Amino acid sequence: MKILKEIDRQTFKDRFTDKSSCYVFLSELKWKDGYNCKRCDSTNYIKGKQPSSRRCRSCGYDESTTSGTLFHKLKFGIDKAFEMLYEIVTSKKGANSIWLAEHFSVNQKTAWLFRQKVQIAMKSSEQYPLENEVHVDEFEIGTPQKGEPGRSKSDKKV
Ligand SMILES: [Zn+2]
């Protein structure tokens, strides 16, 4: 997410042209510190059956690129999810779910749920292994800053 936030819209569009480029990106990010089988801890893998997944040579466990990430079990394509994530992390207000639903032609609940996941990931990196390297303070955009007063309640005029 950190990487996504830092790139401009054009670069984003050029880089993520289809599902496969999203999977490749995710897989590189996920195993950037090397591969370890979740089941038997083996470090040997072969290409798995799912897009960019890795299959353990010892026990045969095929780990998808999306498991343990924001993109696990989504109701829409990963390419759409990447775009949505980009909108959420780059938008100053975090892009509301009504707008997201309309813009990406998904139902509002789906948009809301995904947005929730993104915001939780932004706040607590521990729960999402993929986001371990992301620090919360890099997400001031989209989350209210501490100590900064919101709309003042004393504004009410009689
Ligand atoms: Zn294994």
* 105 within domain boundaries: yes
Q: What is the whole-number distance in angstroms between the Cα of residue 34 and the centre of ligand 1?
A: 14
| 37-54: average pLDDT | 96
Q: What is the pLDDT of residue 2?
A: 62
- Partners of 45 in beta bridges: 56
Q: What is the whole-number distance in angstroms between the Cα of residue 115 and the centre of ligand 1?
A: 33
Q: What is the whole-number distance in angstroms between the Cα of residue 68 and the centre of ligand 1?
A: 17
Share of the chain above pLDDT 70, in %: 75
pLDDT surpassing 50 at residue 45? yes
How many independent structural domains does the chain possess? 1
* 148 within domain boundaries: no
Q: What is the whole-number distance in angstroms between the Cα of residue 52 and the centre of ligand 1?
A: 17
Q: How far apart are CA 6 and CA 69, in angstroms?
A: 20
- Lookup: tokens for 36: 């370890």
28: containing domain: 2-32+68-139
Q: How far apart are CA 60 and CA 50, in angstroms?
A: 13
Share of the chain above pLDDT 90, in %: 56
| 26-44: average pLDDT | 94
* 152 within domain boundaries: no
Q: What is the pLDDT of residue 120?
A: 83
Q: What is the whole-number distance in angstroms between the Cα of residue 77 and the centre of ligand 1?
A: 28
* 80 within domain boundaries: yes
Q: What is the pLDDT of residue 125?
A: 54
